[in-house]
Amino acid sequence: MASLEDEFAVRAVVTRYSDAIMCRDPAAAAALFARDGVLHAFAGEPVVGREAIEAALGGRVSSRTPDPAETSFGFQMSREVGVSIDGDTAQGRWYYLEIGRGGEPGTGRLSMGTFNDRFVRTNEGWKIAHRRLTRFYVGDLEMPGKSFAREFETWTAKPS
């Protein structure tokens, strides 16, 4: 029987992943994968291995914009659908909603879908062995508002 501690630890991996994406930290997001982990989230072939995952995410989470007073952002929320644990492996499914804006002022993106995850217990704790992102919807948004680069450090500060 799976322990509540294991279930909490698996859920925490997903929470930390969304936080890493929101904080624009591809290294922290990639560190949540097993060393040979797989991310199947972008058009094309799956990305395999932590270093490759970090590089792939790094190209998507830049905070640079033409205006140094602003920053791009991605706000990702995930909600558990279910987690099942069997010994040193687990599976989980999550709904996600992501709203973001890149370097172009006024235009943002909305994406909704699921993460279907397999986890493995390692010497480093629970890690994502395979993540498949399946989108239900993706589209552009009018986002004429302003983001605040000066607040980015506060937003991304690690809790003490």
Q: Would you kindly state where each structural domain of the chain is located, as residue ranges?
A: 4-156
In this prediction, residue 5 has a pLDDT band, given cuts at 50, 70 and 90, of very high
Residue 137 has pLDDT above 90, yes or no: yes
Could you tell me the pTM of the whole model? 0.86
Which of the listed CATH numbers 3.40.50.300, 3.40.50.970, 3.40.50.1000, 3.10.450.50 matches domain 4-156? 3.10.450.50
- Looking at every residue in the chain, the average pLDDT score rounds to 86
pLDDT of residue 152: 67
69-87 pLDDT, tens digit each: 556 777 888 998 999 999 9
CB–CB of 141/107 below 8 Å? yes
Residue range 39-63: mean pLDDT, rounded? 87
For residue 30, give the H/E element and its range. helix 26-30
Rounded Cα distance between 117 and 42, Å, is 15
Q: Which of 56, 52, 129 is nearest to 92 (CA)?
A: 129
In this prediction, residue 44 has a pLDDT band, given cuts at 50, 70 and 90, of confident
Lowest-pLDDT range of 46-55, 96-105, 128-137, 145-154: 145-154
Residue range 40-66: mean pLDDT, rounded? 83
- DSSP 3-state percent helix, strand, coil across the chain (nearest 5): 25, 45, 30
